[in-house]
Amino acid sequence: MAARGRKPKGRSAFSGLSVIASAVLLFMVALPTFITLTVGLLPSLVAFIFDRSPGRMMARCVFGLNFSGVAPYILELWQDGAQTVGGATQQIFQPLALSIMYGAAGLGWLLYLAMPPIVANVLNLSAQRRVTELRKNQRGLIKTWGDSLIKEVDRSS
């Protein structure tokens, strides 16, 4: 149990280390991309820091859509031959760009908030439909077998 408990912690540590190593590598090799990613994925970073729930679902939701919002600007940066720090800085501090990146992150957060009630409603409706179906079957059985069925069920329970 203790070993099982330790394993994910080790993997998480490894995963965190690999992220930092990738970030350092990216910082050294492609600084403008690093700047765009760092600024653009700031909501995800905050989410990863504050989301301590198992699986960090909220952080994943935020990250998925946040990254979708950042990806076009990364591609745009890569299409620009110069790939300078200034270009990257100018790009990311445009209000529209920031709005798209952070807005996407916000959508991710909203998705995280909205999805559980939707699933709960679906499950409840399904359960109610099953209960109705079972009650209908029971009524049919009582109609065929009479009260003795109930008595027998009571006796056997």
Partner 1 sequence: MQSVMNIGIMAEQAEDQKQDASNDAGQKPEMDKPGGGAPVDETADAKANLEEEISTGGKNLEIGNFRVFTDLRLPEFDMGHCKAYAADNLRRSEGNAFALVTDPVLPTRYDLIKFLSGVHMAGQIDLLDSAIAHWPIFGRKTMVLFFEKPKGGHVIVSSGKQRSINEQDIAASVVEPLMNVLQALGEKGLTHRAVRATNLFFGDPEGGKVILGDCASGPPGYDQPLVYETTARMAADPAGRGVGTLSDDLYALGMTLAELAIGRRPLANMTDQEIMDIKLSKGSFQAIASQEKLPLIMIEPVRGLLCDDPEERWGFAELHAWLDGRRTKPVQGNTEKRAARSQNISGKDYYTVRALAQGVAKNWVNALTPLRDGTVEIWLRRGLGDNDRAKAMADAMRQLQWAGADKRSAEEVLVARSILILDPSGPVRYKGFSAMVDGFGNMLSYDVQHGSGPQRFSDVIVRDIPAFWFGRQEGYSPEVQRLQSAYKNLRYYIQQKSAGYGYERCLYSMVRNQHCLSPMIEQEYVVDIAQLLPALEKAAENVSDDAWPVDRHIAAFIATRLEDDVEGQLMAMQNPSDEVEYSRAIISMLAVVQWRHGPDNLQNLSHWVARLMEPAVKVFHSKARRERVETEIPKLAKRGNLVELYNLINDEQERRKDQSEFVEAVAEYSEAESEVFDLESSGPARLEMAEKVGQQAAAFASTMIALLTVSALFLMHIF
Q: Applying CB under 8 A, which residues contact partner 1?
A: 55, 57-58, 60-65, 67-68, 71-72, 75, 79, 108, 111-112, 114-120, 122-124, 127, 130-131, 134-135, 137-138, 141-146, 148-149, 152-153, 156-157
- Which of these, 90, 64, 65, 66, lies nearest to 76 by C-alpha position? 90
Q: How far is the CB of 83 from partner 1 (least distance, A)?
A: 15
Q: Contact 85/31 with Cβ under 8 angstroms?
A: yes
Nearer to partner 1, 17 or 113 (CB): 113
Q: How far is the CB of 30 from partner 1 (least distance, A)?
A: 17
Extended beta strands in the chain, E state: none
Contacts of 91 (CB under 8 A, 6+ apart): 36, 73, 76, 77, 97
Nearer to partner 1, 29 or 118 (CB): 118
Q: Contact 76/33 with Cβ under 8 angstroms?
A: no
Nearer to partner 1, 18 or 126 (CB): 126
Nearer to partner 1, 70 or 88 (CB): 70
Q: How far is the CB of 101 from partner 1 (least distance, A)?
A: 12
Q: Which two tokens stand for residue 149?
A: 């069925």
> Could you tell me how far CA 2 lies from the centroid of its own chain?
28
Q: How far is the CB of 10 from partner 1 (least distance, A)?
A: 22
